[in-house]
Amino acid sequence: MSQHRYQQFLHRFLGYYEPLEAKMLALPYWDTLGFDYAERYKTPRLLQDLRVLGETPESIEALARCPSLPTLTTQSQLLGCLYVIEGATLGGQIITRHLLANLGLRPSTGTSFFDGYGGQTGSRWKAFCAMLSASGTESHDEIVASANQTFETLGNWLFPDVPLSKGSTP
């Protein structure tokens, strides 16, 4: 992947995460969950990466935003979405190593989004899983359905020319 292509990928991630996180943060369940998402917020990391890679506030503002986000109205739907968002930080560790090896990029030079929580990624994932287990929600099926919908909407946004829906053939 070239740096230009990587930057285009970051455009798509921002176009998804920015409206998704705004939608998530507007929900009333955070106090009930006892989960501080503020320290896990992804949009600032994406913005930092784009600025470091040469984007201007005007070019960032002009980027497309995803109009088809997962349904988030219940606590269980929020938990399913968070499962995907937080779980992605684990894979981001592998992507960060790949970007360093192939493009010479580090968290300070354009990979802070994928670097996630750096050395704290594993412990933060475990803390998230503990919160999920302790959430007391009985809607396991709704959590799974929301996680699946989050995967699907993200995949459709990142790869609009690749059929990702059930029953589609590549």
Quick check: pTM over 0.95?
A: no
Query: The domain 3-158 is classified under which CATH number: 1.20.910.10, 3.40.50.1820, 1.10.3720.10, 3.90.340.10?
Result: 1.20.910.10
pLDDT at 94: 93
Domain boundaries, the chain: 3-158
Q: Say which residue the tokens 């589609």 belong to.
A: 168
pLDDT at 137: 66
57-89 pLDDT, tens digit per residue, is 999 999 999 999 999 999 999 999 999 999 999
33-58 pLDDT, tens digit per residue, is 888 898 899 999 999 999 999 999 99
pLDDT exceeds 70 at position 156: yes
Q: Distance (Å, rounded) from C-alpha 79 to C-alpha 72?
A: 9
Q: Distance (Å, rounded) from C-alpha 108 to C-alpha 116?
A: 12
CA angle 98, 101, 107 (to 5 degrees): 70
